[in-house]
Amino acid sequence: MTGFDPIRSLANMRHEFGEHGGVNMSIETSTTFTVLDPATMPDIFSGRRGPETGGCFLYGRHFNPTVYALGRELAALEGSEFGYATASGLSAITCVLMQLVKTGEHIVSSHAIYGGTFALMKDFLPLRAGIETTFVDASDLAAVEAALTDRTRVLYVETLTNPTLTVPDLPALAELAHARGVKLVVDNTFAPLMVAPIQHGADVVVHSLTKFVSGASDIIAGSICGTQELIGDLMDLHGGALMLLGPTLDPRIAFQLSMRLPHLGLRVTEHSRRALFFAEQLDGLGLDVRYPGLPSHPHHERLARLRNPEFGWGGLLALDVGTEEKAYALMEALQNRDRFGYLAVSLGYHHTLMSCSASSTSSELSDADLSEAGISPGLIRFSIGYTGSLEQRWEQMEDALRATKLI
Ligand SMILES: *Cc1c(COP(=O)(O)O)cnc(C)c1O
């Protein structure tokens, strides 16, 4: 706990009224903006005059007023100086890494990360950009320290790892990184509001807004929160990864995301309340469940120190039923027989989603990488939804467990 309250922080912001005084901000759809005084054009292009310094917006791939407003809201929720939104979570991650790390330089990353990020670091960046990554168990501080070299620029972790839900010791990692001039970059997709990594020493927070922030599995988007200098660098006309690689978020989509932020807290709290209930029930039946809200979880105490308790322990839980065959049978019964949820990847949706991590979202990992990350073939990741009554959902779960002889 840090005393930082994301809900207060968002409510304390200067409100962005609509163009005609509307309670909602306007959607600025224009891709280009009129310069009233031609003499200011060179200053606008050089970045000396922006929308808040006597100039104007420039072009839609650069800052857009609606996306800019969403960026300010996201920064308020993370307690960062500045924020901006992108067209996907992976583009936010790619741009941050390309901005902070040059050819010949180095990343140290947790080995338990989102499959796409893993493939980016393991396969794409070495081949296309000459950037190497050393993967470590980020809970092992000695291993992290040993992996840092003179060329390391970024230490990369996820707040809650996918899918085993371990928690890195953010303050300790920040200290290790900062002692060597390395930036700590944290993917906070699994723990929005619950954990505010910047408050624990992180330099940059990235999100896939596709998950809890969208909440409806209908939008792909991402975000970057950090210093004003970082966002300025990312948007630089000559050297900015956001400006030049161009993963621009559509302002219409930025508006939709902004309208979902006021109830993000309510949703996260309910996802968490239900996930804790399921974790306790499954644990009570003697099943192998991983949930950081259970005192038996190895990182329960650590998350207790880092989290904002109002938002619970998160909406994700993992259940290891031993084999892929049993996992498939359970998911099939849960979806097709009991209508408990959907067999689909992704998370943060209002309905429950479930998938077998080893053969889906973590399939970029080799068998050796999978076992090193503790992802067994029978591990099912659940993103617990909030539709239906909790009682009804638990009955469905028990029924499917019985039908597949797991209890
Ligand atoms: C989904 C996800 C991403 C990638 O985000 P997209 O919006 O799909 O590009 C990155 N990190 C984590 C933890 C994710 O769950």
**What's the fold here for domain 6-262?**
Aspartate Aminotransferase; domain 2 (3.40.640)
**How many angstroms is it from 57 CA to the middle of ligand 1?**
29
Q: What is the pTM of this model?
A: 0.96
Distance CA 121, CA 30 (A): 35
The residue contributing the CA closest to ligand 1 atom 5 is 89
Strand pairing category for 379-383 and 316-320: antiparallel
Asked whether 112 lines ligand 1 (CB < 6 A), one says no
Q: Please check whether residue 85 is in contact with residue 70, taking contact to mean a CB–CB distance below 8 angstroms.
A: yes
Q: What is the pLDDT of residue 379?
A: 95
Which of 153, 9, 121 has its CA nearest to residue 365? 121
- The per-residue pLDDT for range 54-78, each reduced to its tens digit, is 667 889 999 999 999 999 999 999 9
Q: What is the pLDDT of residue 362?
A: 77
**Residue in 96, 113, 114, 120 to alter for ligand 1 test, most ligand atoms within 8 A of Cβ:** 114
In 3D space, the residue among 251, 249, 247 whose CA is nearest the CA of residue 93 turns out to be: 247
Q: Where in the chain is the domain with CATH 3.40.640.10?
A: 6-262
CATH topology of domain 263-403: Aspartate Aminotransferase, domain 1 (3.90.1150)
Q: Which residue stretches of the chain have pLDDT < 50?
A: none
CA dihedral 283, 285, 289, 291 (to 10 degrees): -30
Q: What pLDDT score does 264 carry?
A: 98
- Nearest C-alpha neighbor of 153 from the set 133, 168, 130, 139: 133
- Ligand 1 within 6 A of CB of 222: yes
Looking at ligand 1, which atom is closest to the CA of residue 113?
13
- Output the six-digit token pair for 75: 């920064």
Atom of ligand 1 nearest to the CA of 210: 7
Residues 365-398: tens digit of each pLDDT = 788 878 877 788 999 999 999 999 999 999 999 9
- How many A from CA of 120 to the centre of ligand 1? 12
Residue 164 Cβ inside 6 Å of ligand 1? The answer reads no
Nearest CA to ligand 1 atom 8: 89
* Cβ atoms of 103 and 128 closer than 8 Å: no
3-state helix, strand, coil in the chain (%, to 5): 40, 15, 45
Asked whether 90 lines ligand 1 (CB < 6 A), one says yes
- Residue 399: partners with Cβ closer than 8 Å, 6 or more residues away: 333, 337, 338
Q: Where in the chain is the domain with CATH 3.90.1150.10?
A: 263-403
Largest CA distance in the chain: 76
Question: Does the C-beta of 383 come closer than 6 Å to ligand 1?
Answer: no
- Residue with CA nearest ligand 1 atom 6: 89
Q: Which residues contact 177 (CB under 8 A, 6 or more apart)?
A: 148, 155, 183, 184, 203
pLDDT value for 1: 59
Q: What pLDDT does residue 54 have?
A: 66
Rounded-to-integer distance, Cα 186 and Cα 189, Å: 9
Q: How far is the CA of 161 from the centre of ligand 1 (A)?
A: 12
Tell me how far the alpha carbon of residue 117 lies from the centroid of ligand 1, in angstroms: 8
- Ligand 1 centre distance from Cα of residue 257 (Å): 16
Ligand 1 atom closest to Cα of residue 189? 13
